[in-house]
A and B are shown apart, each in its own frame.
Chain A
Amino acid sequence: DTAVSQTPKYLVTQMGNDKSIKCEQNLGHDTMYWYKQDSKKFLKIMFSYNNKELIINETVPNRFSPKSPDKAHLNLHINSLELGDSAVYFCASSLARQVSTDTQYFGPGTRLTVL
């Protein structure tokens, strides 16, 4: 049983296109996140949602629009893709009840390549 799943695993597309990545968690967690891992392996948070509400938006370009239809899903839509968007995108979830013990569980990642 997959805890945090993402689709697709790989995404290759042309510059200027619009694409979406889907994420689902079956852990009953309240909070979901999107992270971007660049080519140097640096991981940075992009967004977090708690119970369908946007909590954190880390100065991400507004071409990126997360959508949370319910607390088990957090999708990421990207408009007008640019070469610099090429990265691995990770979805994660956590209970977010107590900061000192809040383990985040990650999806398998989506490798996005923009040509």
Chain B
Amino acid sequence: AQKITQTQPGMFVQEKEAVTLDCTYDTSDQSYGLFWYKQPSSGEMIFLIYQGSYDEQNATEGRYSLNFQKARKSANLVISASQLGDSAMYFCAMIRNTGGFKTIFGAGTRLFVKA
């Protein structure tokens, strides 16, 4: 079955330090996309970064990078130099084409950044 697993329900990080949020996925598809979204307490879903299944280089967007290990089926999000505003829920997601583009989400990781 296709699924996304985020094993860390909650994490703490000290301001200015780096943090890694784990995500593993399970699929037999060859073509898929992996995405990370941030949901602050205000509730909106903010797109952060994506990685295509055929991309050989790890994706980076500013302070966000995606550590993609295809053989291990993992797509961890690394946030460098954490800021207080990074405190939020983070969702890992996978998009597959099942005759239509379908996204499945992990359960999320709540990140707390300490001053």
Chain A residues, Cβ within 8 Å of B104: 45
Residue in B closest to A48 when the chains form the complex, CB atoms:
B100
Please classify the interface of chain B as helix (H, G, I), strand (E, B), loop, or mixed, using the class held by over half of its residues.
strand
Chain B residues whose C-beta falls within 8 Å of the C-beta of A109 in the assembled complex? 43-45
Contact B108 A102 (CB under 8 A): no
Are B52 and A104 interface neighbours, CB within 8 A? no
Whole-angstrom CA separation of A105 from B46 in the bound complex: 8
A96 interface residue per 8 A CB criterion: yes
- Asked if B103 is at the interface (CB within 8 A of a chain A CB), the reply is yes
Mark A81-105 against chain B: 1 for CB-CB distance below 8 A, else 0. 0000000101010101011111111
B89 touches A102 (CB 8 A): no
Q: In the bound complex, how far is the Cα of B97 from the Cα of A100, in angstroms?
A: 9
User: Is B32 interfacial (CB 8 A cutoff)?
Assistant: yes
Bound: A98/B53 CA distance, A: 11
Chain A residue numbers with a CB within 8 Å of B105 are 42-44
Report chain B residues within 8 Å CB of A96: 100-101
B28 located at the interface, meaning its Cβ lies under 8 Å from any Cβ of chain A in the complex: no
Bound: A40/B102 CA distance, A: 21
Q: Which residues of B contact A40 (CB under 8 A)?
A: 107
| B43 close to A31 (CB less than 8 A) | no
Q: Is the CB of B55 within 8 A of A100?
A: yes
A45, A100, A105: the one contacting B33 at CB < 8 Å is A100
Q: Is the CB of B33 within 8 A of A55?
A: no
A23 to B4, CA, bound (A): 27
Contact at A45–B103, with CB atoms within 8 Å? Answer: yes
Q: Which residues of A contact B (CB under 8 A)?
A: 31, 33, 40-45, 48, 50, 55-56, 88, 90, 92, 94, 96, 98-106, 108-109, 111
